[in-house]
Structure 1
Amino acid sequence: MRKILIYPLTILLLLPGVLMYPANVLTLQAEEPQRENTEEDTAEEQQTSGPEITSPSAILMEAAGGNVIWEKDADTRRAPASVTKVMTLLLIFDALEEGKITLEDDVQTSEYAASMGGSQVFLEPGETQTVDTLIKCIAVASANDACVAMAEYISGSEEAFVEQMNQRAEGLGMVNTHFVNCNGLDTDGHETTARDIALMSRELIIHYPKIHEYSMIWMDTITHVTRKGTSEFGLTNTNKLIRQYAYATGLKTGSTSNAGFCVSATAEKDGVELIAVIMGADNSKDRFQDAVKLLDYGFGKCTFYVDDAVKNVAEVPVTGGIQEEVSAHMAGKFHYVDTTGADLSQIRRKVEVRKGLRAPVGKGDPAGEMVYYLNGKEIGRQKLVASENVGRMRYTDALERTMDRFFLENAKHQ
């Protein structure tokens, strides 16, 4: 794997017209030269040149930037089995972040939640467990009963929670997904795609990296306290990759008679995190082997470009402000992944400032975009935002500015 990092660079602006300049790059690691691909390479051609994946649907995505590295039939709708729980976990962490629930909250199991079949931790009606424990049950043991208990606790019913799941999916651009339940048990109409699974997996690990603390647990125990007394129940992670693959960081497995064997596997190496999704494998061994092939391919064959020049990169004109300009910085790092063997040191950046920016301007307001080009072709954009507040100019401010300019001009001619 080759990884290219950008060091912060202050850009002096503004100049009329187009400003183009090379990125300041450092090659940290390099392996064999990459194959040169043409723009006419199709997804099918990339499949033949990539790893040999036996499963019917698969995709490999770079997590930070969401770039798709490799795919195979990634948009065919299939039953996802327990990989569904990635969305369930996402909504749980959303609720935690919003302060609707806490990890210490006690959640009571309903009769309906306790009635779930398939993989479960055998919660009993009336039994209480903390949110923290139920997350562990979902992430480690893929517990269907724990999913429903959390769905009811957050939304009042599984149906209401599933509605939220579908709304969240729509917001992520998961156009081929429809959830019917929160745990992935086979149900008519409950379907998604490899691409959509990658999208929700990325959302979970990028915004809530704490999920890795749960998904990397190999074995643990929970304590049942019921009318029958107290008992210990052992949890064993369903994702064997966390023990078998050196760079594994999670995330979720799933299998049913209808879905076959599925996995959303995350892994990190040298600061780069990848997501490998496998759907419809014939057996558990095949899904893990295919996931490893994808991850190895990504780490071994891709060049990653990261521009973290997030400091002030532009001075943007402001109309009607107490300041005539506002400093702008990148809203976040820019990520790009290349599989063609292109020379990423040739990436150029162009600042496009927002025209007609009028006061008042708030810190974080849109101020333009940084546009990235490779060999003359646009490869991506990153937003620029205001670094400070700029208030609206008052009459006295305008008078003072006019007088300052008047005296300055007079001084020049004396």
Structure 2
Amino acid sequence: MKKWIGALLAALCMVTLLPVQAAAVELPLTSRAALLMEKTTGQILFAQNEHEKLEPASVTKIMTLLLTMDAIDSGALAYDDVVTVSANAAGMGGSQVWLAEGEQITVEELLKCVCVSSGNDAAVALAEKVAGVTELFVEQMNNRARGLGMDDTHFVNPTGLTAEGHVTSAHDIALMSRELLTKHPDIRSFTTIWTDSIRNGTFDLANTNKLIRRYDGATGLKTGYTASAGYCISATAEREGMELIAVVMKGETADKRNADAKALLNYGFSAYALVSAAPEEPLPALPVTMGEVDTVALTLPPDALTAVVEKAQAAALERRIDLPESLPAPVRQGQQVGTLTLCSGDTELMTVPILAAEDAAGRSWGRMFTDLLKMAVFAG
């Protein structure tokens, strides 16, 4: 099994995808930095000042949500766990849900408070529940960021409140947004809430992300604002099986920020499509020479069959399979034996390795001797 996993990972590294040209068009954006990413492939479709280090404000909370959901998935935390609010959490300024010291509230309701109302007090309460103290949680935030390749990022707190050295970039926000959506799709049950309540219906919540109501297919994700950060957002939406992540930083107003996010999403949905490279018919078994078996089954890397293409190309896709007439034994499971190429006209869009789905051992001396005897008998 370990050899098969290793071979599969090596095969994934062989996938060749023609990169979509980021920022190939001019969009009428007013915000300082922006980036558009397709979620499944991680391909960047548009970028503007995407690596500039800027304050993210409450968009920071995407990482807070990611670590909380990680803890839930690992079993260290549960939605119905009860959190006792500390004085530290209750004392947070900025946007809040007015948690009181000593108040008891579930992890699920705290997630709702962060995703819908962007509560700083709720974010700190979650951070303390996950890591014990906010300092350790912030250390986890930065470790997780490094693991995702967020090289423009340094977190100082779990809320996004203004603090010296608390910065990230549009590129890095897209990375952590993608991680949250792909690893924890259940987060959408919180980020798509328009209005709700906590404390048995006595305290109302309204989503700070107005695109949830005003943009078709919106799935989230997080807004942010401080006087120094300006208006920020990681806006996500899904149409026809393709989910896009539009990041906007340092917008001039909430309306201009939202307009920029919509412009990015509209561009992505109008210009691109998500397609599968998988052939319509199953791959044929490949003959094996000098093996214990006559043929070997073939397969494709399951996580490398999706590509983002321009819609004009999607209408005329072809799949070219290149395989040898036979394979000499031995054949190892996961061994690359050919290629599948996704083409649009003369343009190659994507090349995927075709793999052996099983081992095919070389023919033993005993088997070869028996075969020779059979040949001699039939020849006589």
TM-score range, shorter chain: 0.7 to 0.9
Structure 1 range deviating more: 368-377 or 248-257: 368-377
Which one has a larger percent helix, Structure 1 or Structure 2? 2
1:186 aligns with 2:152: no
In 2, the alpha carbon distance for the partners of 1:54 and 1:240 equals 19
The aligned counterpart of 1:279 is 249
1:409 aligns with 2:375: yes
Secondary structure at the aligned position of 1:126 is classed as coil
Is the 8 Å Cα contact of residues 309 and 333 (structure 1) preserved in structure 2? no
Listed as ranges, the matches of 1:63-102 within 5 Å are 63-102=39-78
The aligned counterpart of 2:9 is none
Residues 309, 85 of structure 1: CA spacing in aligned structure 2 closer, same or farther, 3 A cutoff? farther
Counterpart AA for 1:79: E
Is the 8 Å Cα contact of residues 298 and 354 (structure 2) preserved in structure 1? no
The aligned counterpart of 2:14 is none
In 2, the alpha carbon distance for the partners of 1:159 and 1:352 equals 55
How far did 1:261 drift?
0.4
Secondary structure at the aligned position of 1:330 is classed as coil
1:115 aligns with 2:81: no
1:307 aligns with 2:277: yes
Residues 118, 413 of structure 1: CA spacing in aligned structure 2 closer, same or farther, 3 A cutoff? farther
Secondary structure at the aligned position of 1:210 is classed as helix
In 1, the alpha carbon distance for the partners of 2:337 and 2:146 equals 27
Listed as ranges, the matches of 1:204-243 within 5 Å are 204-223=180-199, 232-243=202-213
Structure 1 range deviating more: 401-410 or 89-98: 401-410
Q: Which runs of 5+ in 1 are unaligned?
A: 1-38, 225-230
Counterpart AA for 1:81: A
The aligned counterpart of 1:176 is 152
Residues 408, 384 of structure 1: CA spacing in aligned structure 2 closer, same or farther, 3 A cutoff? same
The aligned counterpart of 1:297 is 267
Residues 356, 171 of structure 1: CA spacing in aligned structure 2 closer, same or farther, 3 A cutoff? farther
1:337 aligns with 2:308: yes
How far did 1:325 drift?
4.2
The aligned counterpart of 2:15 is none
The aligned counterpart of 1:269 is 239
How far did 1:303 drift?
3.8
TM-score, normalised on structure 1? 0.75
How far did 1:372 drift?
3.8
In 1, the alpha carbon distance for the partners of 2:185 and 2:74 equals 16
Secondary structure at the aligned position of 1:213 is classed as helix
TM-score, normalised on structure 2? 0.81
How far did 1:290 drift?
0.9
- Aligned residues with identical type, % of pairs: 40
Is the 8 Å Cα contact of residues 312 and 330 (structure 1) preserved in structure 2? no
Counterpart AA for 2:209: N
Residues 42, 296 of structure 1: CA spacing in aligned structure 2 closer, same or farther, 3 A cutoff? closer
Counterpart AA for 1:68: I
The aligned counterpart of 1:157 is 133
Listed as ranges, the matches of 1:11-30 within 5 Å are none
1:196 aligns with 2:167: no
Secondary structure at the aligned position of 2:261 is classed as helix
In the alignment of these two chains, the number of paired residues is: 358
CA displacement 1:6-63 (0-9 Å, x = unmatched): xxxxxxxxxxxxxxxxxxxxxxxxxxxxxxxxx9x9756x242xx3111111111111
Is the 8 Å Cα contact of residues 120 and 142 (structure 1) preserved in structure 2? yes
CA displacement 1:263-283 (0-9 Å, x = unmatched): 111111112111111111011
Residues 108, 343 of structure 1: CA spacing in aligned structure 2 closer, same or farther, 3 A cutoff? closer
